Amino acid sequence: MTEHRQHPSSVVSFKSAHDFDTTIAQLKRALDGVGSTVFADVDQREAASLVGLALRPTRLILFGNPKAGTPIMAANAHAALELPLRLVVWQDDEGHAVVDYRDVSQTLGPLYAIAPELLGPIQRVAALLQAAVQ
């Protein structure tokens, strides 16, 4: 049975049409295709196993494009807490790869007073990610 857990309204969650490893590869290819850099790929399952704990396949990917993020951070240095962008790919109990993406374009405006025109590039990320794994 798939787990349904509470998450913030700014989190976009969707199932991938691909297996776990293919989902990771597809997401990285899509990000590269739009000029984004993957800054880190953290295997959280592996980290858990190093301390003797079990965790479903789970990878945290930090990514971004300095052309989009730099103007946001220049407008409000505190906004750097939200950047780079991040997504998590995890495997549910039924073996499906699930992608969670925190859409910071929903929070940067109200919480950091970032002007809407600076948010344009990151407002397109959720759709890009979803299209990459369908």
* Domain residue spans of the chain: 14-132
Dist. CA 28–CA 5, nearest whole Å: 26
Q: What is the pLDDT of residues 106-118, one digit of tens each?
A: 999 999 999 999 9
- The yes-or-no verdict on residue 3 having pLDDT over 60 is no
pTM above 0.85, yes or no: yes
Mean pLDDT for 22-42 is 97
**CATH pick for 14-132 out of 3.30.70.20, 3.30.310.70, 3.40.50.10240, 3.40.50.300:** 3.30.310.70
* pLDDT for 1: 37
Strand arrangement of the beta sheet that strand 85-91 belongs to: 11-15, 97-102, 85-91, 58-64, 37-43
- The yes-or-no verdict on residue 60 having pLDDT over 50 is yes
